[in-house]
Amino acid sequence: MSRLGSWSLGSPRLTIDLELEALQNYFNSHQVREIPTINSFIAQNTVHDAWNSDQGGPQDLTVTNLPDPVPSSSQYLIAIHASATNFFDLLQIRGKYQHQPPLPWVSGSEFAGTILSVPSALKSPKYKVGDRVFGASQGGYATKVCAPEPALYPVPDGWSFFEAAGLFVTAPTSYGALVTRAGVKEGDVVLVHAAAGGVGLAAVQIAKAFGATVIATAGTAHKLEVAKSFGADHGINYNEKDWPQQVKKLTPKGRGVDIVFDPVGLIDLSTKCIRWNGRLLVIGFAAGNIEKLALNKVLLKNISIVGLHWGAYATNEPETIQPVWDGIFKLIAEKKFRGTVFTDKEFVGLESVGEALQSLGSRGTWGKVVVKVPQEKESKL
């Protein structure tokens, strides 16, 4: 099997969201503790992996042959056909994340592929050999990976592995924020920041599916066009100093937006274009700045500030997870939600993971950057 290095082989964790602490909570809450040791991976020379033996950057990742991973009694073995990239992969590869695994380690998390074997401990496994699934688990930049049932979902009918690989993090984050937390409804005006990102494009589609008008912001004209192609009604470049005023002018009678969806860190300026009783959704801080907000602005407009930490739901509110996914699959079945995978350039083979991650880090991409992973019968890596 092949893998790209970034994760500790002796300490796998499920990747549910952008916070590894929350991932560990998810891991513990499902009692997934039977894991392979590093020695079991390097005893033979049969598996391809993206391997990290020293701290560096994505350009330093190397493809290494390792033995197939051995699933525990509670894990499925999956043949990976596509792997998605995430910013936390970049941080760990560079040694800048708060939870660094010991070297060497296998990188990656999100994937889509086919079931090769089912858990021996499950009396009624949800999936059978040959089923198409997507999900997340330690070591996603590989040709094979092990994962427990709670970390897997069926690939929607009509979807390719390429499309499904980028669904696991972005879709529930956006649905959980807009629907579960903010209660988006028909007639709302929703401002989506970084609308051409993976989470942003998911948010655009979900807001539109619930009957909202969507105002998208992004940093380039091309990204704004991408957001509009996914359903955004208006597009504004947030590099323009007067963007809050532009947003407000697009709302009925200049009242302001009902909901702000912010994965960037633009909450303070967004208070200038939100209406009375508006909801500010704090999704993340992609710009690298955790803001300090003058609370008098919150008081004067009766604003609700609402956070969304999707990864922590497994520990704190697990009963909400399935209804969120049910809602997502319903939108997919109704053709109101499609894959958000970056298609301007194709990345094929584990050798291209470093380039894919560099493209992601350059902020020049849109949507989810996904790498196609041919299996040995399709292509020799």
Mean pLDDT over residues 122-142, rounded?
95
d(CA 63, CA 3): 6
**12, pLDDT greater than 50:** no
What's the pLDDT score for residue 286? Answer: 72
What's the pLDDT score for residue 311? Answer: 87
**Whether residue 175 is found in the same domain as residue 146:** no
CATH of the domain at 111: 3.90.180.10
Largest CA distance in the chain: 68
Residue 220 belongs to a domain? yes
Mean pLDDT over residues 173-181, rounded?
98
pTM: 0.84
**Whether residue 47 is found in the same domain as residue 154:** yes
For 326-347, the pLDDT digits (tens) are 999 999 999 999 999 999 999 9
Residue 301 belongs to a domain? yes
**Whether residue 70 is found in the same domain as residue 38:** yes
Structural domain harbouring 123: 2-167+339-372
In this structure, the number of other CB atoms found within 10 A of the CB of residue 16 comes to: 28
d(CA 381, CA 378): 9
**pLDDT over 70, % of the chain:** 82
**Whether residue 286 is found in the same domain as residue 147:** no
**Whether residue 191 is found in the same domain as residue 210:** yes
Q: Which residues pair with 49 in a beta bridge?
A: 3, 142
Q: Where is average pLDDT lowest: 43-52, 92-101, 189-198, 300-309?
A: 43-52
Residue 327 belongs to a domain? no
**Whether residue 150 is found in the same domain as residue 218:** no
**Whether residue 156 is found in the same domain as residue 228:** no
For 180-229, the pLDDT digits (tens) are 999 999 999 999 999 999 999 999 999 999 999 999 999 999 999 999 99
**Whether residue 127 is found in the same domain as residue 143:** yes
**pLDDT over 90, % of the chain:** 67
Q: From 319, 182, 170, 363, select the one nearest 257 (Cα to Cα).
A: 182
**Whether residue 25 is found in the same domain as residue 159:** yes
**Whether residue 127 is found in the same domain as residue 211:** no
**Whether residue 175 is found in the same domain as residue 307:** yes
Q: Count of domains in the chain?
A: 2
